[in-house]
Amino acid sequence: MTMKIRIVFMVMLMLGAFYFTFFYTEEKQAADRGDVIEDQADVASAHTVTVKLERVYLDGEISEEIVQETIWSMEDFWAAYADWQLIDMTDEEVIFQKQVDDISPLLKTNGYFGISENGVLSIFNGKPGQAEIIQSFFQIDVQKLESNSHETLIKGIPVKSKQKFEEVLESFKQYSVPE
């Protein structure tokens, strides 16, 4: 009796294996082919572009970020960059720009107000006299400056915030040489 059960069990296993080997995989492959066709249509309608994001800071510094975007829907793409201004667009590249109401990260970490050799109020990438000028503003009448203000400019005034940036510009504007 146990031998008959084993034989029946073996036949059932073989029938199951036969079914899954030939019929089940064909059904699955047919379903997969349908999905693949839809996916291929989606891929064909997708378009990959290089997106350049330019941030223009109050101090004139421009940072640029470059990303690769796959555009599945133009509506979604434009919505993602709704707060950016479109500057240029080709089939391969889209350039957006945004005005940032703050000073640049470079200025916050390493920017110093100072006076150049020819008496121009400038921002340096590091302490004045030891670093390059990032941006120049206006000529200062050094004769009108108080001696401690002149020394402070020679040493450098760190620019750590937008507020400090605006305060320094405003306080030295009164010493500017008229053009």
Same domain? For 29 and 50 the reply is: no
User: In this predicted structure, what is the pLDDT of residue 93?
Assistant: 96
CATH number of 85's domain: 3.10.20.420
Number of domains in the chain: 3
pLDDT tens string 117-150 = 888 899 988 888 878 888 888 888 888 888 888 8
Confidence (pTM): 0.61
pLDDT in the model for residue 32: 55
The rounded radius of gyration (Å) of the Cα atoms in the chain is 34
Q: What is the pLDDT of residues 42-64, one digit of tens each?
A: 444 688 999 999 999 988 889 99
- Rounded to 5 degrees, φ, ψ at 121 are -65, 125
With CA atoms as reference, report the closest residue to 47 among 91, 88, 9, 83. Answer: 91
Write down the mean pLDDT value for the chain.
81
Compute the distance between CA of residue 38 and CA of residue 53 in angstroms, rounded to an integer.
Answer: 33
The reply to whether 110 and 169 lie within a common domain is yes
Give the Cβ contact number of residue 166 at 10 Å. Answer: 12
Q: Which domain holds residue 159?
A: 105-173
Integer Cα distance of 8 and 122 in angstroms? 94
Q: Does residue 84 share a domain with residue 112?
A: no
Residues 17 and 32 in one domain: yes
Decide if 178 is inside a domain. Answer: no
Is residue 179 situated within a structural domain?
no
Query: Could you tell me the CATH number of the domain that includes residue 129?
Result: 3.30.70.1740
Planar angle of CA 23, 24, 27, nearest 5 degrees: 90
Confidence at 40, pLDDT banded by 50, 70, 90 = very low
Range scoring the smallest mean pLDDT among 24-28, 76-80, 106-110, 133-137: 24-28
79 — pLDDT class (breaks 50, 70, 90): very high
For residue 66, pLDDT over 90 is answered with yes
